[in-house]
Chains A and B, each alone.
Chain A
Amino acid sequence: MKQIVIIGDSAAGVAAVEAIRKKDKESKIVVLSDENFPSYCRCVISDFLAGKVTEDKLIYRSNEFFKENNVELKLSTKAIKVDPKKNRVVAEDISDNKAEDKKARSAKLQFDYDTLLLATGASPKFPDLKGIQKKGVFGFRTIQDTKDILQFVTMADTACVLGGGLIGLKAAYGLKKRGLDVKVIIRSPNVLSQVTDKTSAELIQKRLSENGIEILTGRDVSEILGNGDIKAVKLDNNKVIACQIVIAAKGVRPNTEIISETEIKVNEGICVDEYMKTSIPNIYAAGDVAETFDVTLNKPSVNALWPHAVDQGKISGANISGDSIKYEGSLGMNSVEFFDLPLVSMGIYKESQNHEALSKIYNNDYKKVVIEGNRLVGAVLVGNINHSGVFLKLIRDKIDISQIKDRLLNENFGFADIMDLTQGVERTYV
């Protein structure tokens, strides 16, 4: 019987628990979470902010799940240090009733492990700005962030969102639905510059603007103004925008602090091999904190995305229980919809000299594929996103597309067009 400690109870942590328990009912599993909610659907907090779903609908795995799987779930327990020499995690209780009681807080908790899984996730990056610490500046990552924002929403009429990535736009969307004036301030020339190409980004941007979200591109905030509470933000052209809420959505950074004193190799995220193992053999990493091999970029990269976190968690869990399963690698892939306009973007969306790009646009329907040699390495779809998973299959399996290249942009391009080229698919046709 082993003792397994998992830091993080979100997508990767939960998937690991499920994979371990499929094979191993005996080992003791302890899951630590620095949040005060049962495992929840992090990506759905924007719908919670928008008022589209209630808090109870966010639950991903309830406390019963952990009980049924004989897992000791420690909420409000923040891991602060990993000691690989002693095989020990040091943590502290950060629950509300302990927060004021310094003595209780400083009483450190210790968790010994035989195997450790680091599924610590990521945290919002706050820009180094004058006034960033003021009341009313929020990250947008957790249920607690959302609840804090909602408390301010009733007293606010305008919100400024710093950053036009997915998180920024989702926050803007949620706040708009709550009836606020929303301004998104973006340094890049267009929204979603880290997610999709210019043409598709412009379609999304147009749709957001048409629905009352103001987007200022090529601008940065230089200062957040106000005494205590926020009164306004000052832009780099000295223009001042009055607002009461600021959302910092300048990307996220992997939570690697707890291993900073160890020898575990960290690049942007925690480096893992194809078995999801870190540079220390009994320590694994998975999810938003892990840096895995990107199959389209052909190099290690942090692709902090829910589906990857689940897959990586599943593989770590299986390997922790004795399997030797290889992770097939990650890639950037996003699906999002704003005001009835869906967007799917995967792999390499901006072509370089090595690539050939084919695209087609009619009204709000846009389709683009990026080809490298005889392989598909990226695709973007706006409007009609049917069959987008077929492109993902072509990218992931590195399928030679030379025979079907002329059909890729067809409206009805689908599985039937690629079935002769694929292997390892479920039987469909008799």
Chain B
Amino acid sequence: MKKIYFDVEKCLGCRSCELACAVSHSAAKELEKMISDKDKSLPRIKINFSKDKNYPMSCRHCKDPKCVSACMAGAISKDEKTGQILYDEKKCVGCWMCVMVCPYGAIRPNKKVKIPVRCDLCTDIGEPQCVKGCPVKAIVWADETEVDTIKK
């Protein structure tokens, strides 16, 4: 399966990815109009700033996902065919078990609407918008086997 990978050497920490993600998950789907949305769209990707470097992070769609076991509402599941972690907003009760067990800290609570904020790989659009939004191509959308080749 194709996943999102990050190139720390390239990332400038400009947060264009966060913005692109928030726009793509907003009701309005446009930056200018999104600002007046009642429920603010939050980015599924966040940059961690550590040790003078910038580390973007979003859901790893793990092979052995801790969040799936932990979800006491049965809202998180793994699509065995695609490997993607799926999330059913309608079943979620905002208990934050997934936040508690994600070793990457890649899931955050949206405290206002009581649902976790997590990457859905922009499945509805077909391509993660953070990848398009990055001005320096620090975000790679590829199969794991391709990642090393791409770097070179």
Contact = CB atoms under 8 A, between A and B. Distances in A.
A and B bound?
A: yes
Interface of A: 11, 15, 41-44, 47, 52-53, 57, 59-61, 306-307, 310-311, 314, 333-337, 340, 342, 344, 346, 385-390, 392-393, 412, 414-417, 419, 422, 425-430
B100 A390 contact: no
B34 interface: no
- Which secondary structure dominates chain A's binding surface? mixed
A387 B49 CA distance: 13
A420 to B, nearest CB: 9
B99 to A, nearest CB: 6
A91 to B, nearest CB: 26
Given A41-B72, A430-B6, A388 B99 contact: yes
B96 A344 contact: yes
A292 to B, nearest CB: 15
A386 B109 contact: yes
B21 interface: no
B96 A342 contact: yes
Contacts of B104: 389-390, 415, 425-426, 428
Given A307-B69, A342-B109, A414-B48, A429 B100 contact: no
Interface string B81-119: 000000000110111110111111111110100100000
Given A412-B49, A414-B50, A386 B57 contact: no
A322 B58 CA distance: 36
Contact of B101 (A53, A386, A392): A392
Contact of B55 (A47, A416, A430): A416
B12 interface: no
B121 interface: no
Contact of A392 (B61, B73, B100, B140): B100
A392 B70 CA distance: 13
Interface stretch (B25-33, B128-136, B143-151): B143-151
B105 A385 contact: no
Contacts of A57: 90-91
Contacts of B49: 412, 416
Interface in B1-28: 5-8
Interface string B62-74: 1100100110111
Given A53-B93, A392-B103, A416-B55, A310 B108 contact: no
A23 to B, nearest CB: 14
A43 B75 CA distance: 13
19 contacts: A11-B72, A306-B70, A307-B72, A333-B101, A335-B97, A336-B96, A388-B100, A389-B102, A389-B105, A414-B55, A414-B105, A416-B48, A417-B48, A417-B51, A425-B103, A426-B61, A429-B5, A429-B8, A430-B150
B106 to A, nearest CB: 8
Nearest to B111: A340
B40 interface: no
A359 to B, nearest CB: 18
A412 B54 CA distance: 12
B5 A393 contact: no
Nearest to B114: A337
B5 A344 contact: no
Contacts of B91: 57
B90 to A, nearest CB: 8
Given A41-B73, A429-B6, A307 B105 contact: no
A52 to B, nearest CB: 7
A44 B105 contact: no
B69 A414 contact: no
A337 B74 contact: no
A333 B53 CA distance: 31
B109 A385 contact: yes
A306 B97 contact: yes
A307 B7 contact: no
A307 B7 CA distance: 33
Given A342-B96, A388-B100, A306 B60 contact: no
B75 to A, nearest CB: 9
Contact of A310 (B70, B94, B103): B70
B65 to A, nearest CB: 10
Contacts of A44: 72-73, 93
